[in-house]
Chains A and B, each alone.
Chain A
């Protein structure tokens, strides 16, 4: 075991920091107050990700045969940490390089790879996840948006909700029901968002402008070739994808950076000498460290080529705890931050508060830990 970064890894981190320093605008902190899915940030991200791609930093962790540098999971982690603590200038495109690309590579047809991978590697496209529905949130397997195969086309009818990035996304990674066999009846379709019959309505949110939507599908017709994987294979595919997704967002980096920022504000005005505030800040730092090292243990598994299982739920629950601790610390000790005094802390808060809900509710993670990490007998259904 060695807890130190290699010289190469440190150099890689420095290269990313230099790139960020050179390519983020002077008013970036104020600018990043725009929500991660806002029109302003989405437009900025298209330009920024293009530059990342030109410099080999958009997907350096991908294998060489996919156009990446083949750098591996630790470098993916470093990349994600630096981007996320800078306020995620990639916007929703972080999903592309974390899991959509790798999932396309693993399960996609040659035609799908040819159609979708290039725009991802150019840094020029945005995806959204059509998962949750009004009656299928945490209980995702009860989703009802139906896709019927009619003459070599799927005809889709139904509704999705709380869909991030839907307003400006080019493509939807859509979960549909093709049979009534609960988890085995769910099928993924890759649906261009400009397909006739799709209506997107934005839902005002705490997370910021343009983030959350409801999406309606009225007789939306896509060719059979839009099916991703086999009919009924969705659950297996998204289990694979979400394991990547849960690990892919190093929220602890932004939380810790936000904590340091809040402490600096307190120090500046001489309000960081009391024992209570110092102890509270230390607890937040411990929560950040606990979640970071739990995630690192999973990155190691990835390095070793091991399957990441339910432990990812444990790491993600730790991440939720750290986000919550820092969000609450900021409001208690630097309340003015969210009212104009610190765009950075406001930005952190808006990203932090969704930690326990996005990619599966925190309570679902506890259920998974109970059943699959602690191996407790299952609850009766």
Chain B
């Protein structure tokens, strides 16, 4: 058992910090529902940050750390599936990687665009195809989710089958979900604590009121738990750990999604504050993989049979 970051991990996270520095805050006057950056995405991919899982001395825990770190940015990046799932299926699959569940094809698909690799996971196995224009329907223009999303209109006639069990991909997907959620929770909490520490009402910062302090403290406990459970699940590769991490992550996301806007009052309803860039990503992640109930049942299956 060794839970401190090793030198490689510290270095990688430092590199990412420097690379992502220009993207650490929302551009002035931007009031987008979602922020993306192809430049940052390219830089991360070109520098190999999304491929660390396949590097023997780095592995899945480092990949989870990378995903957690990137999810903290206000910019939405397709990192979780690429960093934590892609190498298990086919490390050469073109990005972005879109994971969809067989039987739930009508859901909004994150990062879906022409040229994206779509991986369909379910009872028929693990199959993929490259998304083309005619298989994609755009969402309504001002969709609230802070990811770029689109819909699949159907599946192509031919899909490539991959020699990996659907359960193994679902396990890795849960780790990816938990790691991304951990970063989003961390960034949202940090942003909220800053706002509530500065915003004064009744002559003092809102953060001095115990009714708010305790709610914030409780979410700190949840956020910390999700962070560590995601890393543990990445490290052990155990299906039960993955399901528990995803369950705790989705429970935490659901818990804070409403609260964080509520505690900010009117400002929380605006697009002038970036809170929605984290919370509406969190909200969409609560729908991933069948939602909290599915993670709970998967965990129960894995633990007690």
Which A residues are closer than 8 A to B by beta carbons?
Answer: 1-6, 9, 74, 260, 263, 267, 272, 275, 278-283, 285-287, 289-291, 293-294, 296-297, 299-300, 303-304, 311, 314-315, 317-318, 321, 363, 365-367, 369-370, 373-380
Interface segment out of the listed B110-118, B159-167, B210-218, B279-287? B210-218
Cβ of A289 and Cβ of B293 under 8 Å apart? no
A12 to chain B, nearest CB (A): 12
Q: Which residues of B contact A74 (CB under 8 A)?
A: 1
B100 interface residue (CB < 8 Å to A): no
Kindly identify which residue among B1, B299, B301 contacts A3, using a CB–CB cutoff of 8 Å. Answer: B1
Q: Which residues of A contact B248 (CB under 8 A)?
A: 286-287, 289-290
Give CA–CA (A377, B213) in the complex, Å.
10
B2 interface residue (CB < 8 Å to A): yes
Cβ of B251 and Cβ of A379 under 8 Å apart? no
Q: Which residues of A contact B217 (CB under 8 A)?
A: 314, 317, 365-367, 369-370, 373-374
Cβ of A293 and Cβ of B228 under 8 Å apart? yes
Kindly identify which residue among A2, A363, A370, A379 contacts B1, using a CB–CB cutoff of 8 Å. Answer: A2
Q: Which residues of B contact A311 (CB under 8 A)?
A: 224
Give CA–CA (A19, B53) in the complex, Å.
41
Q: Which residues of A contact B297 (CB under 8 A)?
A: 275, 278-279, 282
Q: Which residues of A contact B216 (CB under 8 A)?
A: 370, 374, 376
Give CA–CA (A263, B196) in the complex, Å.
43
Q: Would you give 22 A-B contacts (Cβ < 8 Å), ordered by A? A: A1-B5, A1-B61, A1-B235, A2-B2, A278-B297, A283-B247, A283-B251, A285-B299, A286-B244, A287-B248, A290-B228, A294-B225, A311-B224, A314-B224, A317-B218, A318-B224, A366-B214, A367-B213, A367-B217, A374-B189, A376-B197, A376-B207
Q: Which residues of B contact A380 (CB under 8 A)?
A: 204, 208
Cβ of A293 and Cβ of B303 under 8 Å apart? no
Q: Which residues of A contact B189 (CB under 8 A)?
A: 374
Cβ of A376 and Cβ of B210 under 8 Å apart? no
Q: Which residues of B contact A374 (CB under 8 A)?
A: 189, 193, 216-217, 220
Q: Which residue of chain A has its CB nearest to the CB of B189?
A: A374
8 nearest A-B pairs in the assembled complex, by CB-CB distance: A290-B225, A279-B296, A3-B235, A369-B217, A278-B300, A370-B213, A282-B299, A300-B3
B80 interface residue (CB < 8 Å to A): no
Q: Which residues of A contact B243 (CB under 8 A)?
A: 282
Give CA–CA (A296, B224) in the complex, Å.
12
B158 interface residue (CB < 8 Å to A): no
Give CA–CA (A250, B262) in the complex, Å.
35
Cβ of B221 and Cβ of A317 under 8 Å apart? yes
Q: Which residues of B contact A2 (CB under 8 A)?
A: 1-2, 235
Q: Which residue of chain B has its CB nearest to the CB of A374?
A: B193
Cβ of A1 and Cβ of B210 under 8 Å apart? no
Give CA–CA (A267, B226) in the complex, Å.
29
Q: Which residue of chain B has its CB nearest to the CB of A264?
A: B304
Cβ of A5 and Cβ of B296 under 8 Å apart? no
Knowing A3-B235, A286-B247, A370-B213, the reply to whether A296 touches B3 (Cβ < 8 A) is yes
Q: Which residue of chain B has its CB nearest to the CB of A291?
A: B225
Kindly identify which residue among B207, B225, B228 contacts A377, using a CB–CB cutoff of 8 Å. Answer: B207
Q: Which residue of chain A has its CB nearest to the CB of B294?
A: A279
Q: Which residues of B contact A294 (CB under 8 A)?
A: 221, 224-225, 228
Give CA–CA (A328, B256) in the complex, Å.
23
A109 to chain B, nearest CB (A): 36
Q: Which residues of B contact A296 (CB under 8 A)?
A: 1, 3, 228
Kindly identify which residue among A263, A283, A293 contacts B229, using a CB–CB cutoff of 8 Å. Answer: A293
A33 to chain B, nearest CB (A): 26
Cβ of B300 and Cβ of A314 under 8 Å apart? no
Cβ of B214 and Cβ of A363 under 8 Å apart? yes
